[in-house]
A and B are shown apart, each in its own frame.
Chain A
Amino acid sequence: MTAKLTNNQIAWRAAQDITDGAYVNLGIGFPEKVAQYQPPGREAIFHTENGILNFGEAPPQGEEDWDLINAGKRPVTLKPGASFFHHADSFAMVRGGHLDVAILGAYEVAENGDLANWSTGPKGVPAVGGAMDLVHGAKRVAVITDHVTKDGKPKLVKRCTLPLTGVGCVTRVYTSLAVIDIEGGRFVLREKLPSLSLDALQAATGAELLVSGPVIDLIVPEL
């Protein structure tokens, strides 16, 4: 496999589906990049588990306020219209169906919508944070991920083998090769890199890709 999207490009593609005024939670790490690529004229309101709505980017070095951090414990700033709230209200927003979108990373996503993204197995210190809460309640739970692992193994699989974060929760996956919806317990291909054949994409995917409509060319700017 040759051409694939960079993480910035995957984040850009995911950002195109976020509507103006949407309430959005971005998982810690890679998903945070999505905030940088909102299309001009659209402004989502970002939620962080530790009690802020409508936070903005990091402050310049030396201007950090350590009472103003995100769930990854990195310093952030506030946008006009920001609000603070306690943790129970924060997770009421999550589980109560008030968020429009949650975008998360993944170790594995299964064709039935199961997600594994919190534990790679019994070794070390287990840590879950808000991952298991976030997969429930957001109107749309999307995943951004490389299409395969560093060893070239599929991350889109028939059934997850790693400990689950949630059952049947993911509805769309943005990968380095394609955009795939999960519908009726199947992977449905929506977009793929134009240079990539369907056979090559299927070979990199651990479960059958259904083509039920037009497959759009996945074209992303250089980033």
Chain B
Amino acid sequence: MDKTVANLATAVAGIEDGMTVMIGGFGGAGSPIELIHALIDRFRATGHPKDLTIINNNAGNGHVGLAALIEAGMVRKLVCSFPRSADPVVFTDLYLAGKIELELVPQGTLAERIRAGGAGIPAFYTPTSFGTDLAKGKPVAEFEGRSYVQERWLRADVTLVKAETADPQGNLTYRAAARNFNPLMCMAAAETVVQASRVVPAGDIDPESVVTPGIFVQKVIECANPQQEEDLNRANAVYPGVA
């Protein structure tokens, strides 16, 4: 079994117009910058994919990665918990102009909705957001004297994440807090695409250390020395940059 693919273009080839795409990362930690930029390259060459629904904790920062994807005009709707950042101008301008849709989800609810999607649980109850504007229109139920809000699962056509180490079977480890949403998103998509900083032979990752088992992963591409959003933003980088 070999899930590795030859290049970034092949890695993101399964994303089509109107799809729902989960993108891993919390801020820049765990964000698959190279996969996102490959998707932007395809859009600039072909006009596709567009009208995407993107699920991420944030709405990008600066003009690289997720912010660049939004800036390119490929995103119809964003599902996230915190669409503010040090430099949120790309999302903010489109949102205030009514050109991008936002579904605001409390962070823990976002994580659990994604986990539920991957685990085959269509709905669950959580205390989070009870009695607030974000619970409007959602069923409420009482369990053992406390009120809870019903939330639905989130699933995606494709997930893009960054991992630290992968093997050809798709087993993954992550680096530090770059783990965040990534293991959950790997579970919740029909096709999970992973950029790993290192791809090692099967057997080289200790089974005790595997965080995401390969069953949740369809494509793996090695990106040694991946770019980090915070470093790019400190350098005022813009993707795709001046031609």
Contact = CB atoms under 8 A, between A and B. Distances in A.
Q: Tell me, yes or no, whether A binds B.
A: yes
Interface of A: 48-52, 64-69, 73, 84-88, 90-91, 94-95, 114, 119, 124-133, 136-137, 163-167
A114 B130 CA distance: 11
B27 A73 contact: yes
Given A84-B176, A87-B111, A136 B128 contact: yes
Interface in B81-121: 81-86, 88, 91-92, 95-96, 102, 104-112, 114-115
B176 A125 contact: no
Contacts of B82: 127-129
A125 B230 contact: no
B107 A133 contact: yes
Contact of B231 (A51, A66, A127, A163): A66
Given A67-B175, A86-B211, A125-B88, 12 more contacts: A50-B180, A51-B26, A52-B176, A67-B176, A95-B127, A124-B92, A125-B92, A126-B104, A127-B81, A127-B84, A129-B82, A166-B130
Contacts of A69: 26-27, 29, 177
Contact of A87 (B85, B92, B180, B228): B180
A163 B133 CA distance: 7
A91 B179 contact: no
B81 A130 contact: yes
Contact of B177 (A84, A119, A128, A166): A84
B: interface residue count bin: 35 or more
Nearest to B146: A136
B107 A49 contact: yes
Contacts of B75: none
A68 B108 contact: no
A132 B106 contact: yes
A203 B177 CA distance: 46
Interface stretch (B10-18, B43-51, B181-189): B181-189
